Amino acid sequence: MRLTVTKRPPAGTDAKTLSPGSRYPMTVEVPDSATVDDLKLAIAKQVKSMYPDRQRLTFGDKKNVLESGSTLEKYAVKDNDTVYIKDLGPQIGWQTVFYIEYLGPIIFHYIVYNFQNIFYGEIFEHSEIQK
């Protein structure tokens, strides 16, 4: 199946107003039984910076979002149809967010507790509860 991938033009503008030098529209070949994930991988092969987590694909006038794991035939995508892409920007994994959110304050507390002379200019004696 051959699909055209392009950016959706802003509301009220002509479809041919994409910036010059843009890599869109582009043509992508996927099998007839392809899933949305297969389409995202095919796009990522052509545009290295658009890895699958960074893509949001829509189809049709109603802006139906193509959900990962679904087949293209579920959305009635046929040969020579146009699929619209939006760049969601760089994405980070949930583990990274977890470590930054929870490990950061623990390390910060440790540093302030043990190197108090750097922050307060003098050393305080800790109470029995703090030790």
pTM of structure: 0.67
The number of beta carbons lying within 10 Å of the beta carbon of residue 13 is 9
Per-residue confidence (pLDDT) for residue 23, from 0 to 100: 78
Per-residue confidence (pLDDT) for residue 20, from 0 to 100: 58
Name the nearest CA neighbour of 93 among 53, 56, 55: 53
Q: 101-111: per-residue pLDDT in tens? A: 999 899 998 99
Coil, helix or strand for 119? helix
Does pLDDT of 15 surpass 60?
no
Report the pLDDT averaged over residues 40-62.
Answer: 89
Per-residue confidence (pLDDT) for residue 43, from 0 to 100: 93
Q: What distances in angstroms separate CA 18 from CA 22, 25, 81, one per listed residue?
A: 7, 9, 18
